[in-house]
């Protein structure tokens, strides 16, 4: 990760407030970008932006629940091949689709989540998303605008992107504490996706080191919005490092394969691919939650998502949330 960004976040985390307290709402933003790693790369899952609103709900009348969080989000993800410009100098007549080792694609969606967090430190997070994959997701326009702002190269090749495909996707995430010491714990992290956009599952451990709270009121499980503090947290604020390796089973990925239904449009030049069935990921990061702010900064390493990919991929992730009410 860009060390300047990492150090800035860490310093801010230590100074942003000494004591956590109950706030039932939070709003914030998450950004993903491979440029955060300062490696000069711009490929594969190249950027993502997400806006969040979460509200803690009452658990009165349920003896097993410790916390319940309702969330809403708006997001966009951008995918490109090994380069966002497939117009090499030795191709005089324009873009060359032979260089597309991972399809151009954009995914724009709105979604809602219901996070049920139990007193035994397990949680069940239910999610639903509706959106669009294709030109209507505005991937070309977003990348061109960002590159113009920062004086970067001109993207080319988006005429080959995945065709428009309306998406409905359902997800479930399950986490459970496995063991804990004073300064470390380990939990199970798993998920499953079902829909015409993404279908698959993943599982792996999550290890935390430092000052962290229970999984029903922690940055780790997106549960820092809480209606009533009826259980004493382990710490007044969280500041911890974490490591999350995972194996992922990919059964369908519309950003690679295109529409699950219907035939390819004869008027477009869509280039599709074949996803790898198993993808390994490793996430390392630092998490903080305090009186008003929640921060997460992470680096994610992925094995190849698509069989034709020339290289594996990696990107940085930064999340900032503000707690209120």
What is d(CA 215, CA 122) in angstroms, rounded to the nearest whole number? 7
Beta bridge partners of residue 289, listed in sequence order: 238, 294
What is the DSSP-derived secondary structure letter of residue 196? S
pLDDT digits (tens, 9 = 90+) for 178-228: 999 999 999 999 999 999 999 999 999 999 999 999 999 999 999 999 987
The Cα-based distances of 58 to 130, 226, 292, 323 in angstroms read 27, 8, 20, 17
Domain count of the fold of the chain: 1
Residue 88 has pLDDT above 70, yes or no: no
What digits encode the pLDDT tens for the residues 117-149?
999 999 999 999 999 999 999 999 999 999 899
pTM of this structure: 0.90
Residue 306: half-sphere exposure toward Cβ, Cα within 13 Å? 25
* Per-residue pLDDT, 196: 97
pLDDT tens profile 229-255: 677 899 999 999 999 999 999 999 999
- Percent of the chain past pLDDT 70, that is, above it, reads 88
pLDDT at residue 231, rounded to an integer: 77
Higher pLDDT pick, 168 / 19: 168
Single out the residue of 26, 29, 194 nearest to residue 115, CA to CA: 26
Q: Which pLDDT belongs to residue 156?
A: 87
Query: How many Å separate Cα 15 from the centre of its chain?
Result: 26
Q: Over 50: is that where the pLDDT of 18 sits?
A: no
For 248, the domain range is 3-324
pLDDT of 155: 87
What's the CATH number where 24 sits? 2.40.128.140
pLDDT of residue 92: 45
């Amino acid at each position: 990760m860009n060390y300047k960004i990492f150090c800035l976040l860490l310093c801010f985390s230590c100074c942003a407030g000494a004591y956590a307290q109950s706030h039932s709402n939070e709003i914030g933003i998450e950004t993903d970008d491979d440029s955060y790693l300062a490696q000069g790369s711009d490929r594969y899952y190249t950027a993502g932006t997400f806006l969040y609103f979460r509200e803690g709900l009452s658990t009165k009348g349920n003896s097993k629940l410790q916390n319940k969080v309702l969330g809403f989000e708006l997001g966009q993800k951008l995918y490109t091949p090994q380069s966002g410009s497939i117009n090499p100098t030795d191709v005089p007549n324009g873009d060359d689709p032979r260089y597309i080792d991972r399809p151009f694609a954009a995914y724009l969606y709105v979604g809602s989540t219901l996070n049920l967090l139990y007193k035994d430190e397990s949680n069940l997070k239910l999610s639903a998303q509706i959106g669009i994959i294709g030109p209507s997701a505005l991937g070309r326009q977003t990348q061109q605008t960002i590159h113009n702002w920062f004086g970067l190269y001109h993207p080319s090749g988006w005429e080959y992107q995945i065709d428009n495909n309306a998406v409905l996707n359902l997800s479930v995430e399950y986490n459970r504490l496995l063991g804990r010491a004073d300064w470390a714990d380990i939990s199970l992290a798993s998920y499953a996706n079902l829909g015409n956009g993404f279908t698959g599952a993943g599982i792996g451990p999550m290890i935390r080191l430092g000052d962290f709270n229970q999984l029903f009121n922690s940055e780790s499980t997106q549960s820092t919005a809480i209606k009533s503090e009826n259980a004493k947290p382990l710490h007044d604020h969280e500041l911890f490092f974490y490591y999350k390796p995972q194996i992922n089973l990919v059964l369908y990925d519309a950003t690679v394969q295109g529409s699950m239904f219907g035939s390819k449009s004869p008027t477009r030049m869509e280039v599709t691919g074949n996803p790898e069935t198993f993808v390994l990921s490793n996430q390392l990061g630092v998490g903080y939650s305090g009186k008003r702010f929640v921060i997460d900064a992470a680096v994610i390493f992925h094995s190849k998502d698509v069989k034709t990919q020339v290289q594996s991929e990696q990107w940085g992730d930064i999340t900032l949330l503000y707690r209120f009410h």
